[in-house]
Structure 1
Amino acid sequence: MAERTGGEPQIDGRSTRWDGHKAQRQVELVDAAVALIEEEGSHFRMQRLAERVGLPRSVLYRHFKDRASFDELIRRRVVESFVKRMEPTLSFEGTVEESVHRVVGAHLDWVAQHPRLYAYMGVAEHAMGDGSLVADTKTAIALMLSERFSDVLAALGVKGAPIRSVAVGIVGFVDTAVNQWMRDPERELSEDELRAMLCRSVWAVLEAALRDFGVELTPQQRVADVEGA
């Protein structure tokens, strides 16, 4: 029992040690679940996870409030992996064309490498702005893109341009096209053809938006040169 030394009770060190152990155990179980999904698919059974980590299923459940909260932690881990892959590509280094290929390629590469995790995220079920973790992630990426677009436009003397809707539209288009391609049992495009189509389409949208703002850019122009102009 914790002793009192004054006005406030001392914290029992055993409880804090248990909290740390429980948090670490949760991380290990989420990692194991992600690995299981990668191998067997998004509709994994808790019994399979229990067998994988060597715990009775009843003990496994003690580490989480319920299955829904466990699924949310897994989904959060998957989203973190996706965002970690995407964030470095939003720097717009190199030419405009290279920048478009890098961002679109990062999205498609992650999905192609982790198709079962992508399915587990339930991307098609979440539209941007619906308040879900996946939707909020797509919105966050769109906002990061719009900030970079705004920086480039400001460097060209165009400030306060309504570019956010363009960024949201681009993210939504790429996401929807990739999702449909992943789910299509008879794909009309190869992965390379899809990549090329997405890059052409994104550039077409950007070029049209830039023209509306009185800006003319070519795909071969370097973004750094534009910003330094």
Structure 2
Amino acid sequence: MEPQSDMRGRWVGHNFERQTRIVRAAIELLESAPSVDVPIQDIANRAGLSKSVVYRQFDGRDDLDRRIRAQIADDLLDTLIAALDFSHGSVSTIARRTIQAIGDWAEGHQRLYGFLRSGPSSDSKVSAIGTLKDEVAVKISGVVNSIAAMIGMDPAPFASLPYALVTMVEGTLTRWVQDPAPKRTRDEIINDLALYVGYLIDGGARTMGVDLDQDEELMSVIARLAAGDRSEP
């Protein structure tokens, strides 16, 4: 006889696979359906399951919607992390490609972006986009703290900067995406934001007594500062 623990583990895995199919089906429909209010029956049909199975997998429609937002947020976060790679590129390059990635995703998935902003992704009352911004800011803070430790400097002047940057970029891009007749092109708005991000980073660096060349490779900047050279190359 199969141990109960193995049976439970298999059942949990089976349910997880079904939940993933349902959430992915819902996301596909959100991209193409005429309304974000996609019926459960349509989601079930897309997932190749019965409506009753969908209802058994989630604690109501709100629970399903939270799971959908959580998956959308994870997909966007993967895009951001790939662009926000501090191992190569200058500060200017990293900032620009990350903003470009967000802009491309938001413009290419406007329905999903709107749904992401429509409610929470967990039992908390914090919006899914708010949770995502917190996660990105924490990741940036971790990198800043690591760099500060490598070069022997106090990261305190940058403590508020990650969330300020994330909020500015997300809010500005959201307004641009939602504007039916934007006055700035996508390239222009990305250039604007990259410039503003540069100003904020430069200001933080100067409070630490560092002259930062934003076009210098970041790894070279770190090596130079770690060697005690605080001047701009």
Question: What range is the shorter-chain TM-score in?
Answer: 0.7 to 0.9
- Identity percentage over the alignment? 28
CA contact (8 A) 2:116 2:128 kept: no
CA distance 1:205–1:130, change in 2 (3 Å):
farther
CA distance in 2, matches of 1:12, 1:215: 58
CA distance in 2, matches of 1:70, 1:124: 12
CA distance in 2, matches of 1:147, 1:11: 42
CA distance 1:15–1:153, change in 2 (3 Å):
closer
Aligned residue in 2 for 1:80: 74
> Residue 91 of structure 1: SS of its match in structure 2?
coil
Kindly state the Cα deviation for residue 200 of structure 1 after the two structures are TM-superposed.
0.8
| 1:176 corresponds to which of 165, 171, 196 | 171
> Residue 225 of structure 1: SS of its match in structure 2?
helix
Larger radius of gyration: 1
CA distance in 2, matches of 1:125, 1:22: 23
CA contact (8 A) 1:152 1:227 kept: yes
CA distance in 1, matches of 2:30, 2:191: 29
CA distance in 2, matches of 1:35, 1:101: 29
> Residue 47 of structure 1: SS of its match in structure 2?
helix
| 2:26 corresponds to which of 14, 23, 33 | 33
CA distance in 2, matches of 1:211, 1:38: 45
CA distance in 2, matches of 1:136, 1:101: 23
CA distance in 2, matches of 1:148, 1:22: 36
CA contact (8 A) 1:90 1:144 kept: no
Aligned residue in 2 for 1:62: 56
Is it true that 1:11 corresponds to 2:4 in the alignment? yes
CA distance in 2, matches of 1:219, 1:210: 11
| 1:164 corresponds to which of 133, 155, 159 | 159
Is it true that 1:24 corresponds to 2:17 in the alignment? yes
Kindly state the Cα deviation for residue 64 of structure 1 after the two structures are TM-superposed.
1.7
CA distance in 2, matches of 1:32, 1:173: 32
CA distance in 2, matches of 1:225, 1:63: 51
CA contact (8 A) 1:155 1:226 kept: no
Aligned residue in 2 for 1:99: 94
CA contact (8 A) 1:142 1:167 kept: yes
CA distance in 2, matches of 1:65, 1:198: 41
Q: TM-score, normalised by structure 2?
A: 0.82
Is it true that 1:122 corresponds to 2:117 in the alignment? yes
Q: TM-score, normalised by structure 1?
A: 0.83
Aligned residue in 2 for 1:202: 197
CA distance in 2, matches of 1:21, 1:151: 40
CA distance in 2, matches of 1:123, 1:166: 26
| RMSD of equivalent CA atoms | 2.7
Unaligned runs of 5+ in 2: 225-233
Encode CA deviations 1:33-85: one digit per residue, 9 max, x unaligned.
Answer: 11111112533222322343454534432222211111111111111101111
Q: 1:136 is aligned with what amino acid? A: T
Number of aligned residues: 220
Kindly state the Cα deviation for residue 210 of structure 1 after the two structures are TM-superposed.
1.5
